[in-house]
Structure 1
């Protein structure tokens, strides 16, 4: 049965998080389609992965037989994260925008799984795996908006997930998530509600489509 790798990185729990609400809609539909499937879940806010250290970085360029004990331990942990990615038939990532970029916890996970000669380079080991990123943000950074030039979430993740790891990337973008909480944005609440409803529907539709594709592929 299919395996889904699900990562959340919002600092807010449950329904308080716009990105978690949408990733939950995706996962719920996915599990309905794959009741016997496997979900590998990492809450990167609750249980952060280690940031890259000198030992973890240098070990990737050294022969394993020459690793120090510290390098061996750090590299083994990286390989564990990489193997989760490689086992996945689909990947789901909650990536809220914080100060124009992704949470540092998600950056730490990416730094661990990007490994030249394995997941990146000429023959990326997870090439073609579909990845759905829920890129929520408090305002709007769509093309043509005043802050479009400050959109570093989708640009960055496209460079890493698509260009480096060769994953099949799609975004779901719930916008204006601060509107219900910021009086200055009160007039934008209807737009937020429409964006949220659209994102929830897109998540369910995408999960269903991927489930169907994987089922057909396995048949």
Structure 2
């Protein structure tokens, strides 16, 4: 049995399948999870809606607490890190992480950036030793986890080698910190043309849904065999 961590970060509460101005990323993550459950109904699902309930942003106190050795932490430090600890525990327990991350002004939503800042934790998801030879940092997340990024964009041409690739800071902004902590098996699907609201959008939605279905078939089979 596998564990799937499903994270939504869109500020829009509904799926575009339900309402005209709903979230395309919620549409894709729900489709992914529905198709996954058809193939692996006994798998555990962990759901986190950071779009509706964002994690607390990192503060000076958070940084002080995180970089204090656990055995030296005062009670207030443990309180400050409680939410981060819960998010890290969820991440570590998952085999597949499915993230719905729309493009907001060329980057990910602030809500999901707050999530990343909470799970990139010294001593928990990455190590640091200033006396270590070579690179003093190393990833601590092991176990062959898979990251799936399901995005949506108002314009088009944001994929690698396309017209606006240099302006896409969503997937690169997610892939880099996840790789830093040790999660490097990454898959991506995106809907484009949202602002055009014409046949191009409908065709992009249909293509993304087919890509999600294909991705589930491949990943679900691979994880069943693992």
SS at match of 2:81: helix
Higher normalized strand content (fraction of residues): 2
CA distance in 2, matches of 1:163, 1:195: 31
Over the residues paired in the alignment, what is the CA RMSD in angstroms?
1.6
Aligned to 1:139: 155
Aligned to 2:48: 42
5+ unaligned residues in a row in structure 2: which ranges?
Answer: 17-21, 127-136
5+ unaligned residues in a row in structure 1: which ranges?
Answer: 181-188
Q: TM-score, normalised by structure 1?
A: 0.88
Q: Does 1:27 align with 2:36?
A: no
Q: How does 1:1-219 map to 2 (within 5 A)?
A: 1-12=1-12, 13-15=14-16, 16-120=22-126, 121-126=137-142, 128-140=144-156, 141-142=158-159, 143-145=161-163, 147-180=164-197, 189-217=198-226
CA distance in 2, matches of 1:127, 1:150: 32
CA distance in 2, matches of 1:123, 1:103: 25
- The number of aligned residues is 208
CA distance in 2, matches of 1:155, 1:65: 35
Higher normalized helix content (fraction of residues): 1
Runs of 4+ in 1 over 4 A off after TM superposition: none
Deviation by residue 1:35-89 (Cα, 9 ceiling, x = unmatched): 1221100111111111112222222211223222221112232111111111101
